[in-house]
Structure 1
Amino acid sequence: MKLRVIFLKKKYLFFLMPLILFLIILVLIIYRNYTTSSTFTTISKDTILKSDLNGDGIKDSLYVKQANNKYLIKVKIKDKIFDINTDDKSSILSNYYTYWPLRVTLMDISRDRIPEIFLQGSLGKNSVQRIFVFDGNNFKNIISNSNNILGFIDCTNNRTPKVITGRFQGDIMLLTNYIFSNSKFKNYNLEDNPGFLGKDTVCSFINFIQTLPSSRPYEPNNIFSSNISNDDMYVLDKLAKSDTAYTFQDAIFKERKSDKNGNSAEVQWTLNFKGVSNSDTSIIKNYSINIILDADKNSSSSNYFKIVSIY
């Protein structure tokens, strides 16, 4: 009898093992998707974004309205309407320009299942960045600045997610690292490394775009991967042939992959440019360029991240 009981336990265990393994994999996938879940939206007209903004498991509505050349935002949670205002109580979050759209990013950087709201836009000729956090009663504007770089790292590993904010000006990019703790963003030490997340490569790429079309024959080849396709490089030809002067406005980036040690291995940057036609300066457009950078282990410390895709 005892042998029969032992046999049955092993038998059940044999059939249960695949199910247990499946459940473990499923949990890991859900956890991975949760930690990397985000919404990046460029707003050029009235828009409604759906997301759970208070953590009750029900999707709420974030309304972005363009009125009188300004962007206004409201959030509806159940039957309650919240005005998204700046820390000085202004409802004007950004100017509206056809060549400089507002970007709204919903990212749960605190890992409490409630996404923070990140805005990138402009006030006059200057860039503006704002971050809002829901405290259970209102959406608090905890950061407002004139930076033009926004990024997210440690979203694909077990480390604490971090927000990178900074400024590209001239030929350099200065970045500051933040972690979210106790409903506040706190500065976190950031290594001053030119190759950090490919910022040296990105700086070279921005400067190259801003000198098109004259610089097209003299592209900085050291920033491109040897694996980049001709179709990707054709994007640069199209930009050059449009006979347009490009001016950098702002950028957002996100870590897409980490290596086994938790270090960033692949990063996506979205670069926003104002384009003015050289033949008719009244023609002004927005140009958004996406680039993907991979870590090149065979590269020197300079330009460690290289561009593998442009679109």
Structure 2
Amino acid sequence: FDHYQPPFVHYDAIGGSGMRILLISQRGDQGTLAGLYESLQSLEIVPLSGERSLSRGGFVLTGADARVRSYSQADLKDGLIKGFTLVWSPADEARAARVLQVMKSSFRPFGDRVLDPGLGQPLEGQRADLLAGLEVRRPLRSGSGFYLDGAGLVATTTAVVAGCSRLTVDHGQEADPVWQDAGLGLALLAPREALAPPVHAGLPAAAPRRGTEVAAAGYSYGDALDAPVVSFGRLEDLGGLDGEPDRVRLSLTTLEGDAGGPVLDATGALVGMLLPRQVTAGRVLPEDVAFALDAGAIGDALERAGRLAAATDAAGGGGAALAPEDLGARARAMTVLVSCWP
């Protein structure tokens, strides 16, 4: 026995066995069971590869990679959820198979009591990357993106998607890169399952004007916040400082996580996509200087990628100016978190 951390009782490896056991004990219903099922899949000890199933009365989760193996099961009966997790090293596969067989055949829920949720370390004392004392799987990096059509096509920066074995958008939806241009810094991601975004950025009918007030949305702090942050600024020039025709220069303070997010004018029309801050040897730009890939370049990219027909001029843009709160709501609704996983 090592410690309590509801809903788990932790048993660490002994005698160099490399095997860990978690006993699961909590009250709940089918919603609680499903939540536990999803939470376990976010843990480092439950690799993504493996068979898994969820029913009304319980679940089974297996995970396997080159570093760790695990098996979890839990059953729901009379408002009680009880089960276990066994974790082992791939080198101990044969011994773990024998241990697991014994555990599965002998495990029996006992009594009508569950683990006291007040036991163990208080939740407010935990690190953000822990769940009940267990390491949560973390992405290599996270950035921003935004919807370009009604099926969930996402625009983001190539910097966010570089070197990823897996990509997710909108807090967990699997996505694949379908087009990239390193010169533009633009990547297009298609979700593996069709989405129905509430708002998507339509391509504007005309170029924006200098001095236009703009709003930008992005996950400034990665996945630390559940919703994007909206910042307001001004469009200073059409073009980059070195005359790049596919850039627009903004007076806007941004953070690293904002890159890939949309920039909208006061009517809600797309101005462009925020680019990562420029780092040039010997030159440091003012904090409020930012650049975006302009909407025209995004439209050209969509045409080359064969996706232009779906990116229609969405509602909003070209009309009267929106109230700041409405403009912010529109920007947030089309912005997604893009996460790169190892």
Whether the TM-score (by the shorter chain) exceeds 0.5 is no
**TM range, smaller chain:** under 0.3
TM-score when scaled to structure 2?
Answer: 0.24
- Give 1 or 2 for the bigger CA radius of gyration: 2
Structure number with higher strand proportion: 1
